Chains A and B, each alone.
Chain A
Amino acid sequence: MVHVSATPVLALRGVSKRFGAVQALTDVELEVHAGEVVALVGDNGAGKSTLVKTIAGVHPIDEGAIEWDGKAVSISRPHDAQALGIATVYQDLALCDNIDVVGNLFLGRELRKWGVLDEVEMERRSRELLTTLSIRIPSVRIPIASLSGGQRQTVAIARSMLGDPKLVILDEPTAALGVEQTAQVLDLVERLRERGHAVILISHNMADVKAVADKVAVLRLGRNNGVFEVKTTSQEEIISAITGATDNAVTRRAARTSSTNGEVSK
């Protein structure tokens, strides 16, 4: 059983965000504990990306409070979020194709020895990190260009782990991946949880959410639309929360197909 601490690592209390005439977020509440994977779901335009960007410091919040380890903090720049221990892996991975895996992992925070790159130490730490996360890549000394999409995703996630963050935000980590690569990334998410990191996972894929998440927070039109325990909730309940009704396109389709199946079996 995964141990969940009493005080959440991150808590959003009544967060609101406006862009001009658009109320992107209204009174949103969210709690993430250490060693917990919270899936953030919602239809396009529900405010997932905006919410993540407020946590990452890209868009400062207009109203409400952000609590970090139970204390109120203000996150107004990406730097503030990084300093707290929040790492974000965006959908476009932001890796340099021409630089090898070690170089990408340490890009912008290279280890130095007398002002010179300490390649040996960086390579040793990269191997250590990749081994701990059970990431398999052909070699840490090949350019990112020769890696597959899934391998690039795992490198990007591993990169976010270098600063030993308390909270990792993954924006659609499996969106462009095949079956095997998706499984690898989900394995990695589970390993982050085992190591006691808090994880926020944005995903459109209900199977992924059911597979790794502990809780599902649903956003609908910029508002909370329920937080569910994954174990005790059916996929249909989550989908109806996302679409906002029990009678929706998905359930109608499900009903239609089951009834046609019924006719066929007669």
Chain B
Amino acid sequence: MSLDKTSANLGKAPSGDEHVVENPEAAAAAVTAVDPRLLVREQGLLGYWSEFKRKMKAGELGSLPVVLGLAIICIIFQVLNSEFLSAQNISNITVTMVGTGMISVGIVFVLLLGEIDLSVGSVSGAASALAAVLTVNQGWPEWVAVLVAVAAGAAIGALHGFFFAVLGAPAFAVTLAGLLFWLGFMLKVLGEDGTINLDSEGLIGKLTTYTFTDVAAAYGLAVVVVALFFVSSFLGNRRREAAGVPSRPLSDTILRTGLLAVVSFAAAYMYNQYKGLPLATVIFLAFLVATDFVLRRTPYGRKIFALGGSVEASRRAGINVTAVRISVFAISGGFAAIGGLFLASKIASANQSAGTGDLLMNAIAAAVIGGTSLFGGRGRTWNALLGVLVIVSIQYGLQLESIAEPVKYMITAAVLLTTVVIDSITRKTQKTAGRA
């Protein structure tokens, strides 16, 4: 009986994908957890190319469309105006994007659940107004006001989450109500003057104006980032090898580290050509690294992805669905508040137009343009960085060309639509390739 034969071979079954089999007969008898139909990646550079081609055909584009789009945007604006890729302009773009980018990080969390938060614009405005009133009118220390504003944002988000998760109201409607309510709250808090000027030398003011002027700061950060990346990948691979599960070859790690090094040091060089490394960008990157870690490496992040995949499966697996939902909306509110503080810092005031206009749409568009799925379960917080880079680059490029606001809206809309269309088409391709 064949069953006996297979069970007799269990003990000595090879465990690696890349195991080279010399005796085909023994291979047929041995049972591995790996299907023989699996395409094993070829080694070396050729392997990357064939893997890349296969992924493109299967519709696994990942961040490729947005990176290509960003490159095209840069080339077009650079041709139109050689100022576009100047150190000053790029530095300004990467500082301006932080406010919207932070809000977009929160949106990525909510989109991962397959939900939407329409209140983030108003919540960001309300938080900045709260911080301004507490520091300027009430005389609180700025750091306390900042903490209170962020905590208030998280509490507001948790409140929205409560209505959605516990009472079962659709998130769309709850946060739409939140959009109106917190807009009213902000106007009320700001009072009759409507504008509170912040101390541009204070903590909130410095958020977007402070730069590490020392040349060593930017290079130092680049060295630390590259070294940390290499060491963690290297040690991770060593652990995988020791445990006998497939691991990346060293050449792969070196290639990735090399790419990261090129990008990091180019950025550091560029910042040092202008005023130095901006504090805002460093804080944004730190939040991106932290949130990416939470989402992909912690049990909490796994729960968020699980809920985005199947609520019923998550519930049966013992995940506290209500708690995770409320916490995700709290995160969204918290990041909205953080983004609001950066936006207020940029204009050194809290005014009645904070959190209104195209802010909400830009934050959602950034997450989607970056590659986060609108249907839940797919996305990374780095998507927010890529998406917001695209949006703010377009704004700055059009400003250099002195193209008016109406055209800016239309072009941003075209980019968003293109992204969503690409997303839909790749989703179809992925379905036929069995990956969605």
Contact = CB atoms under 8 A, between A and B. Distances in A.
B10 A134 contact: yes
Interface stretch (B143-151, B300-308, B334-342): B300-308
Contacts of B38: 138-139
A143 B435 contact: yes
A130 B245 CA distance: 13
Interface residues of A, number: 42
A148 to B, nearest CB: 9
A98 B31 contact: no
A266 B243 CA distance: 71
A102 to B, nearest CB: 10
A42 interface: no
Interface string B1-42: 001001100100101010000000000000111111110000
Contacts of B69: none
Contacts of B313: 93-96, 107
A226 B244 CA distance: 50
A120 B31 contact: no
A98 B378 contact: yes
A152 to B, nearest CB: 12
A143 B435 CA distance: 7
Contact of A132 (B10, B34, B240, B318): B10
Interface residues of B, number: 43
Interface in A208-243: none
Nearest to A123: B245
A137 interface: yes
B223 interface: no
Given A117-B298, A187-B3, A135 B33 contact: yes
Contacts of B319: 107-108
B323 interface: no
A138 B310 contact: no
16 contacts: A96-B306, A97-B309, A97-B377, A99-B306, A109-B317, A110-B299, A110-B302, A117-B302, A123-B240, A131-B32, A138-B34, A138-B35, A139-B35, A143-B435, A145-B435, A191-B7
Interface of A: 90, 92-99, 103, 107-110, 112, 115-117, 119-121, 123-124, 126-127, 130-132, 134-140, 143, 145-146, 187, 190-191, 194
